[in-house]
Each structure stands twice: as C-alpha cells, then as structure tokens.
Amino acid sequence: MAQLWGGRFTKETDQLVYDFNASIGFDQKLLHEDIAGSVAHVTMLAKQGIVTKEERDSIIAGLKSIEEDVEAGSLAVTSQYEDVHSFVEANLIERIGEAGKKLHTGRSRNDQVALDMRMYVRGHVKRTDALIKELLSVLYQKMEENLDTYMPGFTHLQKAQPVTLAHHFGAYFEMFKRDRSRMRDIYERMNYCPLGAGALAGTTYPLDREYTAQLLDFYGPTLNSMDSVSDRDYVIEFLNALSIVMMHLSRFCEEIILWNSDEYRFVEMDDAYSTGSSIMPQKKNPDIAELVRGKTGRVYGALMSLLTTMKGLPLAYNKDMQEDKEPTFDAIETVENCLTLFTGMVSTMKFRRDVMAKSAMNGFTNATDAADYLVGKGVPFRDAHGIIGKLVLYCIEKNTSIDALSLEELQGICDRFEEDVYDAVSLKTCVEKRLTIGAPGSGAMREVLEKYKEYLEGSDAE
C-alpha cells in the first residue's frame, strides 16, 4: 500500500478497507489527464515563484517519463497505489527525489480529480461529436442516393402515407444533429478549470488560476472553490446526452431489425454485420443492431447511477463522488463503440428499392391522396374521406389496390372520378407533390440536403 497520507494514523489500514477505498483499478484511465494537469500546475507554480525553474523542469521531465513508461508497458499501474494521483506522485518522488514532493503544493486531490474528470469528459464530448458527424456523413450520402426510393411511412406501425428512404433517414439526421448541438452546448458550459480550488476553500499560495486554465485550454477558472470540487453536473449532462444518442440509435436499430426481417425484406444487412445460428442453418441475425438496442439500458443506468449518487451530497467533496467514474467510463466506451459499429452497419447495408416501393403501393398509402383528389373535384373533405373509406373496403374484399381498379369500378362508388385519378394517386405523385419544406417530395428534400451539406462543412463542437 502506497498512500499519500498516514501521518495522523497509528494503525495500518485494514486490507479490505484499503481495497474498498481504492480507485486505482479504474481511475488509471485518467493518467494522461492527471499528468497534463500536473504539468500545467507546476508550470504555474514556477511562474509564481512557488517552486524554482529547476524544480519545475525536473518535475515535468519526471512526469513525462512516467507517462512514456506506462505507455511503453515498462511501468505497471498496480493496486499497490490507492489511486492514479498517488501512483504518479509516488513514482515521481522515486524518480526525481525531493523536488517531486513539491508538486502537490497548493493542490488537493479534490481539485485534481475534478480537473482530471473534466478533461477526460471534455475529450470524449469532442470524440462523440466527431463520431456522430461521421454517421451524419453516411446518412447524408444515403439520402442523396435515395431521393426516389419510395417506401411506406408508418404511424402506429401501420402503413400511413408514402415517403422516401431519404426522407426517413432525414428524420434521423435531425435527431443526430440535435445530439451534436447538445455536445457543443455541454462543452461551452463545462469548459472552465477547477484547478486551484484546493480541497474546498482555495489556497493561501498566490496561484495564477487564469494561467493554469489557459495552459489547459479552458475558457477560464471556475469561480467558486466549493462548487469546483463538488460539481459533476457536466458528467450528468454528458450522460444525459449520451442516453439520448443511444435512444436514437436504438430506435434506428429497431427499424433496421424490422426492415431486415423476412416480413419486410426492405434491407439486407451485410454479412460482416450479421451472425448465424448454431442450430438453424438458414439464419442470418441482425445481432449488431440488437446489441446496440440492448446496450442502451446500461447507458441510461449510468445516468441514473450518478444522479442518485449526487442527490444527497452536502458541500463540498465527498467520497461518494468516486462512484462517478466506472459508470461514466463504461457509458463512454459503449456509446463510442455503438456509434462506430452502427455507422459501419448502415454504410454497408443494401436497400431493396423494389420491395419498398411495392410495400408502399400495397398498403393504401395513397388513400389520403385519393380523398384529396375528390376534394379537387369539389367533394367536401369529410365526404371524400367516407367515400375513400368505402373504396378501401371494396379493395380489401377484392384483394386489390385503389390504382388497380377500373374507372367504371371507381365511378360506381363516386361519379367524380375521372381518368386523371390514376396519375393523382400514383406512388410517385403522392410523394412528389409533397413539397412543403420538411416533406418527402424530392424538390423539398433537395433544398434540405443543401442545408445539410453546409451544416456538415461547418465547425465542430468546441
């Protein structure tokens, strides 16, 4: 056991207590942030004359060598240390001696871990944003290719009105666009540096907090030292945003699973993203989509876990907050993997245009347009609705579709039908006449794609 405290203790810590208390098993993930934070801290200490330039240089060289050796695998992060902060400091002192003992001047592990966690989350806010952007680029490309891939649009999972694949993907484009804007938003609010808050009440050393903030690419220092060490709002916000990303991915996966089923046959998943069954030779299962859908639960779990951990905490730091790490790390890894796999799955998926169009034609998705046609011929909408309802019933009995009926049959139900009805209720017309912005008609969709193109060329979260 190598720990940073012990002066006031007369007994060794019980091993069980030590293990229970330790966080090295998971907070070693923060090694790079911890070292970057320490380099900035000591750089500031030297600028303020709190340590000498020689001490600074030796500390920085020591810190870098620790980082390099861990990366190279020649230095192991072991459970002999309580946490990553103790690991770094103990190794530093071992390597450079006396000067190493000065690194922690004017700092507490409370502001240190607050900084590490903030930098870690900040990095992954950017990474998530970049991964969503990659997914959006794939969706954009699929949209461009499928402006006239007609398919049924659903409400209540019942065929409703025809749309296009481009339009359907566009709905997800909007969702993921909002996810990115949440990332940017979180970044803006969280990007303030807690270092220098000390244990909770700042320090008596003349620290230059503006300077450390600047060295670490923050907008500035946080303004209340108690809040600085006990704020995990940004983690909660991030987990919330990640939960929403997962909810979107999960909905998309659910649709893909349906589309890939034998009942729909709208898409064919690439072999690389499917798996077989050990017993049923005919099976090609959409496991990746199912797993992404399934993993949504654990990300929601992380959010609930941290909200619950934080809810009763008095100011300022409490050890409960160590529990922020494992669920957060797990959620981050989960979402990043899901985004990467999902993007690959969509980009390799094949779309069966003919099956989709046929499905759109079979489900009376043109019934609204047929009613609108009668409105155009002077029938009040409510009456037209009733007439088309009867027509649908007639078609169901005869196992046919509106556009397959003869003009005589149509006129048998309403004498306002004329030859131009066929064009009016054709799949193409039904979609292409929907031209208000946001609608599936390719004219409207092209305008939207133009905006999406500009959007993708725009700046990233930061």
Shortest distance, position 126 Cβ to ligand ARG, whole Å: 22
Q: Which residues pair with 285 in a beta bridge?
A: 275
Shortest distance, position 30 Cβ to ligand ARG, whole Å: 9
Position 374 contacts ligand ARG (CB under 6 A): no
Three-state SS at 220 = strand
Q: Compute the distance between CA of residue 264 and CA of residue 179 in angstroms, rounded to an integer.
A: 29
Q: Does residue 58 carry a catalytic annotation?
A: no
Catalytic residue among 79, 181, 261, 277: 277
- The label of the residue with tokens 């020591």 reads 62
Q: Which of 105, 224, 285, 322 binds ligand ARG (CB under 6 A)?
A: 322
Nearer CB in complex with ligand ARG: 110/260: 110
Residue 121 exposed, middle or buried by CB count within 10 Å (0-12, 13-18, 19+): buried
Contacts of residue 173, defined as CB under 8 A and 6 or more positions apart, other chains included, come to 136, 139, 140, 143, 452
Part of the chain binding ligand ARG (CB under 6 A), chosen from 32-40, 178-186, 317-325, 368-376: 317-325
Note whether 249 and 296 are within 8 A (CB).
yes
Position 90 contacts ligand ARG (CB under 6 A): no
Q: Which of 27, 34, 89, 111 binds ligand ARG (CB under 6 A)?
A: 27
Nearer CB in complex with ligand ARG: 108/164: 108
Residue 331 exposed, middle or buried by CB count within 10 Å (0-12, 13-18, 19+): buried
Q: Compute the distance between CA of residue 437 and CA of residue 433 in angstroms, rounded to an integer.
A: 12
Position 113 contacts ligand ARG (CB under 6 A): yes
Part of the chain binding ligand ARG (CB under 6 A), chosen from 106-114, 216-224, 270-278, 352-360: 106-114
Q: Which of 136, 151, 245, 321 binds ligand ARG (CB under 6 A)?
A: 321
- Indicate the residue whose CB is closest to ligand ARG: 322
Shortest distance, position 80 Cβ to ligand ARG, whole Å: 15
Nearer CB in complex with ligand ARG: 18/351: 18
Shortest distance, position 29 Cβ to ligand ARG, whole Å: 11
Q: Compute the distance between CA of residue 3 and CA of residue 89 in angstroms, rounded to an integer.
A: 10
Cα-based distances in Å from 267 to 183, 286, 349, 441, 459: 31, 11, 7, 22, 33
Catalytic residue among 74, 156, 278, 459: 156
Residues 65 to 84 in contact with ligand ARG, rule: CB under 6 A? 83
Shortest distance, position 116 Cβ to ligand ARG, whole Å: 8
Q: Which amino acid is at 85?
A: H
Kind and range of the H or E run holding 137: helix 109-145
Part of the chain binding ligand ARG (CB under 6 A), chosen from 107-115, 118-126, 214-222, 250-258: 107-115
What are the tokens at 96? 């450079």
Task: Give me the 277-316 binding string for ligand ARG, x by CB under 6 A, dash otherwise.
Answer: ----------------------------------------
Shortest distance, position 304 Cβ to ligand ARG, whole Å: 19
How does 213-246 read in b/e, with b if 16+ C-beta sit within 10 Å? Answer: bbbbebeebbeebebbbbbbebbbbbbbbbbbbb
Shortest distance, position 28 Cβ to ligand ARG, whole Å: 11
Determine if residue 364 is left, alpha or beta; phi over 0 gives left, psi from -120 to 50 gives alpha, anything else beta. left
Q: Which of 56, 102, 109, 295 binds ligand ARG (CB under 6 A)?
A: 109
Shortest distance, position 113 Cβ to ligand ARG, whole Å: 4
Q: Which residues pair with 152 in a beta bridge?
A: 162
Position 23 contacts ligand ARG (CB under 6 A): yes
Shortest distance, position 7 Cβ to ligand ARG, whole Å: 15
Position 366 contacts ligand ARG (CB under 6 A): no
Angle between helices 109-145 and 31-47 (to 10 degrees): 120
Nearer CB in complex with ligand ARG: 107/209: 107
Q: Which of 38, 58, 110, 309 binds ligand ARG (CB under 6 A)?
A: 110
Q: Does residue 261 carry a catalytic annotation?
A: no
Q: Which of 340, 168, 335 is nearest to 267 (CA)?
A: 168
Residue 68 exposed, middle or buried by CB count within 10 Å (0-12, 13-18, 19+): exposed
Q: Which amino acid is at 308?
A: T
Nearer CB in complex with ligand ARG: 5/219: 5
Nearer CB in complex with ligand ARG: 25/220: 25
Per DSSP, which regions of 319-398 are E strands?
A: 350-351
User: Which active-site residues does the annotation give?
Assistant: 156, 277
Q: Which residues bind ligand ARG (CB under 6 A)?
A: 23, 27, 83, 109-110, 113, 317, 319, 321-322
